[in-house]
Structure 1
Amino acid sequence: MVRPVRSGEWEAVRELRLAALRDPVAALAFVESYEEAAARPDAFWRERAEGGSEDRGTWIRQFVAEAADGRWVGTATVLVERPGEGPAPFGEVTEAQTDVVGVYVRPEARGSGLVDALLRTAVEWSWAQEPPVGRVRLFVNEDNGRAEAVYRRSGFVPTGGRADTLGSGEARDLEYELRR
């Protein structure tokens, strides 16, 4: 089952994020390190869960995939971006769009179609925004072929754009988009 997080689920949000950051590909896919995230206080995780929750969040939505036993096995977060409004973490915003970030599926759940369900949910939520957004965007590191294949399979296409989302000084992240 894929669903939005709830504001009180901060401990599960923290646990899943830390698990994602332990993944060998995390250095390519995530902006922060495990050590940075693990050092954050509980208040940070409470605010993060609340900000991305269905009951409190407005411009961020974090979705989680729950196994039959209730364990969280995957996640994806969507950020709404509009020209001249709010934060723009990945450069200037020239049109209403969403960014898909923080995509992660635990190793034991990979190959099950779970990432496809997370992306479908993220895209459906994006298209339901009012006022409407014209595209869903994401970035993938040029060395992360596995993720690139997943995004292409889900209909995302490369734009030719590049970014330095990790702050390394090199634009190694490829921009992909899905348009209405």
Structure 2
Amino acid sequence: MKTTVHEATREEGGRILDLWNAFTDHLSEFNDRYRAREGADDHWLSYFENQVVDSQYSTVLIAENESSEPVGVLEIRIVGEHPIFQLDRHAEIQGVFVREEARGEGVGEALLEAAAEWMRQDPRNVEFYRVDVIEGDEVAKQAFKEIGLDPVKQTYESRV
């Protein structure tokens, strides 16, 4: 499958919502708290339009197939350097999702390559990035390993 990746524009917010909803459905298979809450679409569109579009330090990338249909999405935020640890300027990929019918076709890799190129550009100058994988999603863990990402930490949580 031929895949093209580009930065999302304000006008594409609605196209992205369908992908994010599919992503939340996927995540909620592993943890019900990741199901989209009431009003999530409007909240996300507002966030996207006001904090992501035209930002130097965050973006959303869309992967499209040869028919210009969106088949994948990725959101990046630049974090910066850690004040104590020897962690250089870095970014966090807040979410990466590929439609099931497009998996195994290089879409995720194309998104990550485009993300890395965006992160290398001035003024971002990122040294590395991180991606979280929800507990239980062994397919995603394996896919990231196959692309060349290394596991470096596990996150634990507790209700208070």
Larger RCO: 1 or 2 (CA < 8 Å, sep 6+): 2
Q: Is the 8 A contact 1:78 1:122 kept in 2?
A: yes
CA–CA separation in structure 2 for the residues paired with 1:129 and 1:152 = 28
Shift of 1:84: 7.7
For the residue of structure 2 that corresponds to 1:162, the secondary structure is: coil
TM-score by length of 2: 0.80
Shift of 1:132: 2.1
For the residue of structure 1 that corresponds to 2:158, the secondary structure is: coil
Q: Is the 8 A contact 2:17 2:41 kept in 1?
A: no
> What code does the residue aligned with 2:128 have?
R
Q: Is the 8 A contact 2:56 2:124 kept in 1?
A: no
Shift of 1:139: 1.8
> What code does the residue aligned with 1:48 have?
F
CA–CA separation in structure 2 for the residues paired with 1:108 and 1:20 = 13
1:15 aligned onto 2:13: no
TM-score by length of 1: 0.72
| 1:105 matched residue in structure 2 | 98
Shift of 1:66: 1.3
Q: Is the 8 A contact 1:5 1:49 kept in 2?
A: no
| 1:177 matched residue in structure 2 | none
Residue from 62, 70, 74 that aligns with 1:64:
62
Q: Would you tell me which structure has more strand in proportion to its own residues?
A: 1
> What code does the residue aligned with 2:72 have?
G
> What code does the residue aligned with 2:40 have?
R
Shift of 1:146: 0.9
For the residue of structure 1 that corresponds to 2:34, the secondary structure is: coil
CA–CA separation in structure 2 for the residues paired with 1:115 and 1:26 = 20
Q: Is the 8 A contact 1:95 1:134 kept in 2?
A: yes
| 2:80 matched residue in structure 1 | 82
CA–CA separation in structure 2 for the residues paired with 1:68 and 1:30 = 34
Structure-2 change in CA distance of 1:118 and 1:31 (3 Å): farther
Unaligned runs of 5+ in 2: none
Taking only the aligned residue pairs, the percentage that are identical comes to 20
1:114 aligned onto 2:103: no
